[in-house]
Amino acid sequence: MHKQEEEATYFCSMCDIPLCTECAHGHTQVKMFKTHTVTSYRDVSMSMMTVDVGCPKPGHDQPVSGFCADCKVLLCPTCATTDHRTHQYVCYRV
- Please check the confidence at residue 5 and state whether its pLDDT lies above 70: no
Burial of 55 (0-12, 13-18, 19+ CB in 10 A): buried
Query: In the CATH hierarchy, which fold is given to the domain comprising 10-91?
Result: Double Stranded RNA Binding Domain (3.30.160)
**Structure confidence at residue 68 (pLDDT):** 82
- Please check the confidence at residue 87 and state whether its pLDDT lies above 80: yes
89-91 β-sheet, strand order? 73-75, 66-68, 89-91
What percentage of the chain reaches a pLDDT higher than 70?
Answer: 79
**Structure confidence at residue 82 (pLDDT):** 92
pLDDT tens figures, 8-53: 788 887 777 778 888 888 888 888 888 888 888 776 655 444 456 7
Within 10 angstroms of residue 31's Cβ, the number of other Cβ atoms is 6
**Structure confidence at residue 49 (pLDDT):** 46
Domain regions of the chain by residue span: 10-91
**Structure confidence at residue 59 (pLDDT):** 87
Amino acid at 11: F
